[in-house]
Chain A
Amino acid sequence: MDITQREEKGVVVFSLNGRIDNDGATKMEQTLQSAAEAGKSKMVLDLSTVQYINSAGLRVLAEFLTVNREKGGELYLSAVNSRVKRVFQIVGFDNFFRMFDSTVDAVNAF
């Protein structure tokens, strides 16, 4: 999985491309933690080109969201396709993550 990042209005936007499987989850965890350690707390994950997420990916996102919130930060998800959104709904995570139709909306929500 490829991850690129940029900053918009003080919000770090990560664009993920590919499958969030075990390897992808590890890469995503490292990327998010690096940003957190660099003092970033407002983050958006653009999932527009992610077609798949497994339980390892969900676990990483949930754990990171929990820790980040304890530090006053937030992590929003944007452009989540229906298949990935269904996985979030299945495990009940759609209640915990704020999802936006577009990355622009997510950034503006901070």
Chain B
Amino acid sequence: MTGKRSRQWQADLTSLAEIRAFVESCAKTLGANESQTSDVLLAVNEAVTNSILHGYGGAGLVRVEVDRENGQLCVCVADQAPPFDPTQHITPNINRPLDECGLGGMGIHMMRALTDEIVYHAPIEGGNELTLKKNLSEDV
């Protein structure tokens, strides 16, 4: 581990700008390049937006932890919303025409495509922990 940083925000879309700034600052400190940082920011934005809009649907808190482990930038988005495992969500079939492929799950598809690994954990005390991992070195 290399200096995990963690902060908590109100689960509100107005928190997104601060959350992105926090993750961007941490990612650069932990050695992510511009492209890796950009991908992770998009993915984190989707994860937090899902938590706010679909998880809570109201007031709550979102905690974001950023760390570097085993050559990966790891961003954990944690909430106390009802359990939902997005990694079990079916990816939309993007090879079919737009009016057939269905547009649900677009955010989760983006998270998958922008990161190298997504790990979901449902803590025994409730809530959700979704960790987005991005390879920072070629020897991962």
* Shortest Cβ gap from B103 to chain A (Å): 5
Q: Which of B46, B103, B109 contacts A54 (CB 8 A)?
A: B46
Considering the chains assembled together, what is the distance between the CA atoms of A21 and B44 in angstroms? 13
Q: Are A59 and B103 in contact (CB under 8 A)?
A: yes
Q: Are A91 and B106 in contact (CB under 8 A)?
A: yes
- Chain A 24-46 per-residue mask, 1 if CB under 8 angstroms from chain B, else 0: 00000000000000000000000
The answer to whether B113 has its CB under 8 Å from any CB of chain A is yes
Chain A: number of interface residues, binned into ranges: 20 to 34
Q: Are B49 and A22 in contact (CB under 8 A)?
A: yes
Q: Which of B53, B98, B113 contacts A96 (CB 8 A)?
A: B98
Q: Are A90 and B46 in contact (CB under 8 A)?
A: no
CB closest residue in chain B, given A57: B106
- Chain A 54-86 per-residue mask, 1 if CB under 8 angstroms from chain B, else 0: 111011001101100010000000000001000
Q: Are A91 and B95 in contact (CB under 8 A)?
A: no
Secondary structure class of chain A's binding surface, majority of residues:
helix
Q: Which one of A55, A87, A95 has the highest number of Cβ atoms from chain B below 10 Å of its Cβ? A: A55
The answer to whether B86 has its CB under 8 Å from any CB of chain A is no
* Shortest Cβ gap from A22 to chain B (Å): 6
Q: Are A55 and B98 in contact (CB under 8 A)?
A: no
Query: B113 contacts which chain A residues (CB < 8 A)?
Result: 90-91
Query: B45 contacts which chain A residues (CB < 8 A)?
Result: 21, 54
Q: Which of A23, A52, A93, A96 contacts B13 (CB 8 A)?
A: A23
Q: Are B42 and A54 in contact (CB under 8 A)?
A: yes
Given A21-B16, A22-B49, A54-B49, verify A92-B95 contact (CB < 8 Å).
Answer: yes
CB closest residue in chain A, given B113: A90
Q: Are B98 and A87 in contact (CB under 8 A)?
A: no
The answer to whether B21 has its CB under 8 Å from any CB of chain A is no
Q: Are B94 and A91 in contact (CB under 8 A)?
A: yes
Considering the chains assembled together, what is the distance between the CA atoms of A17 and B11 in angstroms? 26
Q: Are B106 and A59 in contact (CB under 8 A)?
A: yes
Query: B106 contacts which chain A residues (CB < 8 A)?
Result: 55, 58-59, 91
Q: Are B109 and A91 in contact (CB under 8 A)?
A: yes
CB closest residue in chain B, given A62: B98
Give B contacts to A, CB under 8 Å.
13, 16, 38, 42, 45-46, 49, 53, 94-95, 97-99, 103, 106-107, 109-110, 113-114
Top 7 closest pairs, chain A to chain B, by CB: A92-B94, A55-B107, A55-B106, A90-B113, A66-B99, A59-B103, A66-B98
